[in-house]
Amino acid sequence: MKNIFKLTIGFLSLALAFTSCNNGDSKSKSALSTNAAEKVYVAPGEHDEFYAFISGGFSGQLAVYGLPSGRLFKVIPVFSQDPEKAWGYNEETKPMLNTSYGFIPWDDSHHPDISQTAGELDGRWVFINGNNTPRIAKIDLTTFETTEIIEIPNSAGNHSSSFVTENTEYVVAGTRFSVPVPQKDMPIKEYKGNFKGALSFISVDPKDGRMAVKFQLLMPGFNYDLSHPGRGKSHGWFFFTTYNTEEANSLLEVNASQNDKDFIAAINWKKIEEYVNKGGGTKMPTNYAHNVYNDETHSATSTMIKEVLTVNPLDVPGAVYFLPTPKSPHGCDVDPSGEYIVGNGKLSANLTVHSFTKMQKAIADKKFDGEAYGIPILKFEDVLAGSVVQPGLGPLHTEFDGKGNAYTTFFISSEVVKWKLGTWEVIDRKPTYYSVGHLMIPGGNSAKPFGKYVVAMNKITKDRYLPTGPEVTQSAQLYDITGDKMELLLDFPTIGEPHYAAGCPADLIKPKSKKIFKLADNKHPYAAKSDADTKVVRNGKEVHIQMTMIRSHFSPDNIEGIKVGDKVYFHVTNLEQDYDVPHGISMIGANTSELLIMPGQTETFVWEPKQVGVWPFYCTDFCSALHQEMQGYVRVSPASSSIPLSW
């Protein structure tokens, strides 16, 4: 115990002193095998084998890369405004960023996860969490656009999220911070015993993917750090790592690392689902936003929901157990068979692996080691499958290759360690440059991983790239894992700080991702589907322009009768029906971004002219040889003017 505590202090000071991580070892750069370049080379015009969806961390976005090339294809705005796509700037998408706190165009997004059917990736959607103002977003993989965002009530620091169950029955969101539920004004010192940790099970409609908070389990006031679903034999269960089981209100080391072991919470969600389907649970008044993007109107609506179903774990006997797990476990990872649950104890010397079979036996034998707030604690020895002995310093996350091997990242010793499930022996280790967080094997969080590559995502790069002022890019590193030994192939920069990523074979998504919206199906209330539909309508100080765009003109392109003090809505429809022919539009002095409008779609921006004059607008996307001719003028007259609207 004393020794472990000493180790803890050592680990912590190492963790705090980034500079003591592996320092720039320039020899490693030339140590690449000569065929590394060949292995990542995707010839011009050729396609990559895998998609990788890498979280943008504090940029609130999700970046789409190809593997093995590491080429960046798209940055999908999720919890962010993006002037490139007008996301969060145009009137159609602003409601997507609505919350119970108002319009919040930013978040900290950590963990993308691809939807699954029967435990395998199905390539329909990617889910990702917003940590800060707790939200879960869903991205449609036919359009690569965010189509739904749901806020999570009673939650704070939505970190153990957004992982999906085997058939995407649920996307699960767990609170990092326990808080008063419902929120109230109370002394912080009275945290212990009074705060709650909400674990939310958000159902996903199998047809349209529509999300709804089915129930929230109100757990003791620990920090719920990460989670992963059971699969195969453990289908129906969900596992969450916890830290601060001391329930300290200040996490200075002395407070938070007292307990030799924290817990992995094992939740039998099937049992709780049965309980709530029979009318169990308590409806609690609350307030949270549910934002849905409609493909037909090309616009989003935001609805406030006033109630959530909460469940007290003590009301569902046999649904919740605690598995003691040494020293502040971070990642909670389940192997493809569903048997092994890895608790990555950040401050632990060994890596702990629990056995689902042993857990079930211990539960059946009722062999408990006391309880916490009435929830049975299983005996460590009774659930332990094995330990990887001293594999490295500061384990964070583990992924699996589907061939019986696991790969764990070590933040402090800056490396990926490959080890064998069942024998727990270390097979290989490779340095990362530097301070790796998550890692990703395509399908690595499913029953069927594609164990060809692992991507390590690093927090610090120091000397690895051309310097760019005080901040250097964060980065990912690609390793070939087809042999016994991992082989470093490639470094590539990431958007923001990367946390988790999700990868899948390109073929799963490619065939359905060249979507074109049919103009005939456009149900936007202000769509103009031909030049005959175009008009300009005044309603007091509000003016609505219904405009079209097609190579290479706007219609109308000369508008008069607008006055200072008007609020002018440009509703612009792209009449094109060819793949990949967007047009843009921008207006001088408009307090918004340009619009980039896809074929068949209508988008809207607002312009409030402040000065009289004749003001130009133009197409922002180089669309044809006559792109530069795609322009128009709006004449703005004094507020007192009686010039009629004309176009």
Binding residues for ligand RUQ, per CB under 6 A? 396, 437, 497, 499
Binding site partner of 138, from ligand CUA, ligand K7E, ligand RUQ, none, Cβ cut-off 5-8 A by kind: none
In the complex, least distance from residue 128 CB atom to ligand RUQ, rounded to whole angstroms: 15
SS3 at position 522: coil
Check binding of 623 to ligand CUA (CB under 6 A). yes
CA R_g for the chain: 27
How far apart CA 146 and CA 545 sit, in angstroms, is: 27
Site mask, ligand K7E, residues 74-113, x = CB under 6 A? ------------------------------------xx--
Closest residue to ligand RUQ, Cβ-based?
Answer: 437
Residues 580-619 that bind ligand CUA (CB under 6 A): 583, 619
Torsion sign (Cα): 480, 486, 489, 495: positive
Residue with tokens 């409806």: 283
Binding site partner of 111, from ligand K7E, ligand CUA, ligand RUQ, none, Cβ cut-off 5-8 A by kind: ligand K7E
Check binding of 330 to ligand K7E (CB under 6 A). yes
In the complex, least distance from residue 576 CB atom to ligand CUA, rounded to whole angstroms: 9
In the complex, least distance from residue 569 CB atom to ligand CUA, rounded to whole angstroms: 20
- Residue by residue, what is the 3-state secondary structure of 17-43? CHHHCCCCCCHHHHCCCCCHHHHHCCC
Check binding of 621 to ligand CUA (CB under 6 A). yes
Check binding of 346 to ligand K7E (CB under 6 A). no
Check binding of 228 to ligand K7E (CB under 6 A). no
Check binding of 440 to ligand K7E (CB under 6 A). no
Check binding of 524 to ligand K7E (CB under 6 A). no
Check binding of 135 to ligand K7E (CB under 6 A). no
SS3 at position 279: coil
- With contact defined as beta carbons under 8 Å apart, do 139 and 128 qualify? yes
In the complex, least distance from residue 33 CB atom to ligand CUA, rounded to whole angstroms: 46
In the complex, least distance from residue 62 CB atom to ligand K7E, rounded to whole angstroms: 14
Closest to 341 in 3D by CA, of 327, 325, 328: 325
- With contact defined as beta carbons under 8 Å apart, do 561 and 544 qualify? no
In the complex, least distance from residue 437 CB atom to ligand RUQ, rounded to whole angstroms: 4
Check binding of 553 to ligand CUA (CB under 6 A). no
- With contact defined as beta carbons under 8 Å apart, do 548 and 555 qualify? yes
Binding site partner of 619, from ligand K7E, ligand RUQ, ligand CUA, none, Cβ cut-off 5-8 A by kind: ligand CUA
Extended strands (E) in 459-576: 475-480, 487-493, 501-505, 535-539, 542-550, 553-555, 558-563, 567-574
The token duo for 595 is: 């619009």
Q: Which of 418, 464, 499, 583 binds ligand K7E (CB under 6 A)?
A: 499
Check binding of 630 to ligand CUA (CB under 6 A). yes
Torsion, CA 393, CA 330, CA 209, CA 580, rounded to 10: -40
Angle at the Cα of 461 (from 243 to 411), degrees rounded to 5?
Answer: 25
Shorter beta-carbon distance to ligand RUQ: residue 435 or 446: 435
Binding site partner of 500, from ligand CUA, ligand K7E, ligand RUQ, none, Cβ cut-off 5-8 A by kind: ligand K7E
- With contact defined as beta carbons under 8 Å apart, do 502 and 53 qualify? yes
Shorter beta-carbon distance to ligand RUQ: residue 22 or 641: 22
Check binding of 500 to ligand K7E (CB under 6 A). yes
Closest to 395 in 3D by CA, of 384, 407, 411, 406: 411
How far apart CA 85 and CA 597 sit, in angstroms, is: 8
Shorter beta-carbon distance to ligand K7E: residue 132 or 405: 132
Shorter beta-carbon distance to ligand K7E: residue 21 or 316: 21
In the complex, least distance from residue 438 CB atom to ligand RUQ, rounded to whole angstroms: 7
Binding site partner of 627, from ligand CUA, ligand RUQ, ligand K7E, none, Cβ cut-off 5-8 A by kind: ligand CUA
SS3 at position 354: strand
Torsion, CA 211, CA 214, CA 220, CA 222, rounded to 10: -10
Q: Which of 343, 437, 449, 600 binds ligand K7E (CB under 6 A)?
A: 437
Residue with tokens 């493909």: 295
How far apart CA 291 and CA 302 sit, in angstroms, is: 4
Binding site partner of 623, from ligand RUQ, ligand K7E, ligand CUA, none, Cβ cut-off 5-8 A by kind: ligand CUA
Look at strands 211-220 and 299-311 and give their pairing. parallel
Shorter beta-carbon distance to ligand CUA: residue 481 or 630: 630
Q: Long-range contact list for 60-65, CB < 8 A, 24+ apart?
A: 60/106, 60/107, 60/108, 60/109, 60/130, 60/496, 61/109, 61/495, 61/496, 62/109, 62/112, 62/126, 62/128, 62/139, 63/494, 63/495, 64/144, 65/476, 65/492
Q: Which phi and psi angles does 39 have, rounded to 5°?
A: -70, -25
Residues that bind ligand K7E (CB under 6 A): 110-111, 159, 226, 330, 396-397, 437-438, 499-500
Residues that bind ligand CUA (CB under 6 A): 583, 619, 621-623, 627, 630
